[in-house]
Amino acid sequence: MRLVILGSGRGSNAEAILVAQRAGQLGRAEVVQLFSDQPAAGILALGLSFGVPATFLDPAPFKTKLDGEGEQRYIAAIQACQPDLVVLAGFMRVIKPAFLAAFAGKIINLHPSLLPSFPGLDGIGQAWRRGVKVAGCTVHYVTAEVDGGPIIDQAVVRIESTDTPESFAQKVHAAEHALLPAVIARLSHATVTNAANA
């Protein structure tokens, strides 16, 4: 299963995927390309470390969504990679219908809350401010509804009385780094099995 990863930041979740791949824990999945909408994003440095092509792809003309010419650039570049799965790992742009149609059923996202609770920006901060005792992270398929696609799997994190916002965030990130590679490995086995049975 060929993976393309999109990210906007330091790339810790992309790194977790690449570390799992190097350790033989990513099932039948292989990362073939990293893309970022930020030219100085940390995720791009992972390419050299792990021997995977990593490219800045201009998202212009919009700042918070993938639309117009930028969207077409992304669609063309990703299609050229022939992906079986597109992984949004901290990709901070709203995905629009043309992109969704180009990769229908092949886009997954990692969100730092137990969806459907706390969708949108700062899921960790939302959960902390609300005072919940159980939080976590979710991997889901991407649809037109922001953080509203079908849930694939979740990991639970308990908020203890001794936690701080920082320690709670660290717990969620640790859960993310375990959950996302595990989900990808599972999906890779399902993809290969379905192809064999087709």
65: three-class secondary structure by DSSP: strand
* Residues 119, 125, 126, 132, CA torsion sign: positive
**Which pair of structure tokens corresponds to residue 21?**
């791949």
Characterize 93-121 residue by residue with b for buried, 16 or more Cβ atoms within 10 angstroms of its Cβ, and e for exposed: bebbeebbebbeebbbbbbbbbbeebeee
**Set 111, 140, 173, 189: catalytic member:** 111
- How many CA atoms lie less than 13 Å away from 158 in the CB half-sphere? 3
On whether the CB atoms of residues 56 and 44 are closer than 8 A, the answer is yes
Active site residue 111: yes
Active-site residue numbers? 111
